[in-house]
Structure 1
């Protein structure tokens, strides 16, 4: 899994830390952000090394996880994108996976690897 870079966007510090640890334990390199706006800058400045985006739907700041997913899809058409939320998210960007909270670490890892 070396060089598999994942961008994790979650404004809840505890959830972000736990999710990042799960991903790092499996060998992923994890970049962490708290807002869609910060993540947007990372997405705009990265190339093919970014292979997955995991974002909460409800984020601090003005941008939602769904808006971020649309931006990421436009910049990186083949990026694996997972939107997490405790509530239903509609409409979902094309080719984006939805992960209902709460979920198991194994479910997250399965979705990131797809």
Structure 2
């Protein structure tokens, strides 16, 4: 993995593709997941390689994006975490950036 690996967690395939393409166009390597459960395994096994976790809150499966963010923050305190949702969320794990959907692509790039 490169030094600029992003873990993108979004269950909507079109949104995931658009966000992934945006990040790849900026030179990032992107690992994509549709569920928090799948992403949790990646965080556990390669978390130190990740530059950022970008996750939607409402995901398919039993685990939410907020729960994934909390897990990732406890496992890797220095990880850059961006939580996305159509509704305002609080409280967030410490040092977590919140982006309310819809947002401008520049806001995501600034967050990572």
Q: Same fold (TM over 0.5)?
A: yes
Structure 2, unmatched stretches of 5+, are none
**1:89 counterpart SS class:** coil
1:53 equivalent in structure 2: 53
CA distance in 1, matches of 2:110, 2:44: 26
CA distance in 2, matches of 1:96, 1:108: 13
RMSD: 0.9
Q: TM-score, normalised by structure 1?
A: 0.94
Runs of 4+ in 1 over 4 A off after TM superposition: none
**2:48 counterpart SS class:** coil
Structure 1, unmatched stretches of 5+, are none
CA contact (8 A) 1:57 1:89 kept: no
CA contact (8 A) 2:3 2:51 kept: no
Number of equivalent positions: 111
CA distance in 1, matches of 2:104, 2:82: 14
Indicate how the Cα distance of structure 1 residues 50 and 91 shifts in structure 2: closer, same or farther if over 3 A, else same: same
CA distance in 2, matches of 1:75, 1:87: 26
Question: C-alpha displacement at 1:105, in angstroms?
Answer: 0.9
